[in-house]
Amino acid sequence: MQIKPLTEATFGTIFQAFRQAFADYELQLNEAQLQTMLRRRGFNPDLSFAAFDGDEIVSFTLNGVGNFNDIPTAYDTGTGTLKAYRGKGLATEIFEYSIPYLREAGIRQYLLEVLQHNTKAVSVYRNLGFETTREFNYFVRKNEEINLETKTAALPCSIQQIDLSTLDSVSGFWDFHPSWQNSFESIRRATADFVGLGAFADRKLAGYCILEPVAGDITQLAVDKQHRRKGIATLLLREAIRLNKNDAVKIVNTDIACHAITNFLEAKNITVTGKQFEMVRKM
């Protein structure tokens, strides 16, 4: 068995390994969906590694590369091991093998998210030197189950589709910094996959929403603090549901400390589905 980078691996080979490694997961991705996910998350085959048994990938880590909080960062886009090869510590070996290559490429930290109920994985990451930086909620809800009733917005506004490039100065709307996959850097890697919605009051942006319609992923939803509790977020959510091509909405990685977004979503019958840890290891 040999560990090496995925520089020369075809996408088909990577997809087959991904499909087999996650065959027992409820959520399955087809080839197009995996390509979209990897593009959005900054997948770099030269800095991604796998264990090969002959010509077959049996364990892998697909790394995204970019900046996070202005620090050159590698991001775990997907780590998996084929069922017959589990329990051998291959994922740990791959990670440790990758460290010198990542450092040589200028990477200064490694970032990942892990389901909190996956206690075995959490323990492995902590033993590898990862520290928890934030806790996230994630939400999944069928479109027809979402409560979109609202009183007339207290602030007259219009909802319009907007160019995502116009949203570079909206960080003042945020209560927390977006996670890797929800950041503007990730969105820009796959701009054509997203729809931007703006709520305008007196010709000024009062709130916005970014949706990936095929996946049903609401990536960002924020309202200017001075215009909150006026029905604007509900109007944005309603339009996002109308444009959604998926049968469900997914809102992933909201900061557990942000009660405003949690309370808003739960009021819309979008209840917490699960929780994740955001973890970082300095390089």
pLDDT by position in tens, the chain (length 283): 899 999 999 999 999 999 999 988 767 789 988 999 999 999 999 999 999 999 999 999 999 999 999 999 999 999 999 999 999 999 999 999 999 999 999 999 999 999 999 999 999 999 999 999 999 999 999 999 999 987 665 668 899 999 999 887 899 999 999 999 999 999 999 999 999 999 999 889 999 999 999 999 999 999 999 999 889 999 999 999 999 999 999 999 999 999 999 999 999 999 999 999 999 999 9
CATH for the stretch 139-278: 3.40.630.30
Domain ranges, ordered by start, for the chain: 2-107, 139-278
Which stretches within the chain are classed as H helix?
Answer: 11-21, 31-40, 90-104, 119-127, 184-189, 232-243, 259-267
Q: Do the beta carbons of residue 52 and residue 58 sit within 8 Å?
A: yes
- Interatomic CA distance for residues 233 and 78, integer angstroms: 32
pLDDT attached to residue 127:
94
Token duo for residue 162: 């907007």
pLDDT attached to residue 220:
98
Residues 6 or more apart from 242 whose CB is under 8 A from it?
A: none
What is this structure's pTM? Answer: 0.92
pLDDT attached to residue 78:
94
pLDDT attached to residue 37:
92
Tell me the three-class secondary structure of 109-170, residue by residue.
Answer: EEEEEEECCCHHHHHHHHHCCCEEEEEEEEEEEEHHHCCCCCCCCCCCCEEEEECHHHHCCC
Q: Do the beta carbons of residue 21 and residue 60 sit within 8 Å?
A: yes
Q: Which contiguous run of DSSP H or E holds residue 221?
A: strand 217-223
pLDDT attached to residue 150:
74
Domains 2-107 and 139-278 share a fold: yes
The alpha carbon of residue 233 and the mean position of all alpha carbons in its chain are separated, in whole angstroms, by 21
pLDDT attached to residue 151:
67
Assign domain 2-107 one CATH number from 3.40.605.10, 3.40.50.1000, 3.40.630.30, 3.40.50.300. Answer: 3.40.630.30
- Interatomic CA distance for residues 176 and 153, integer angstroms: 25
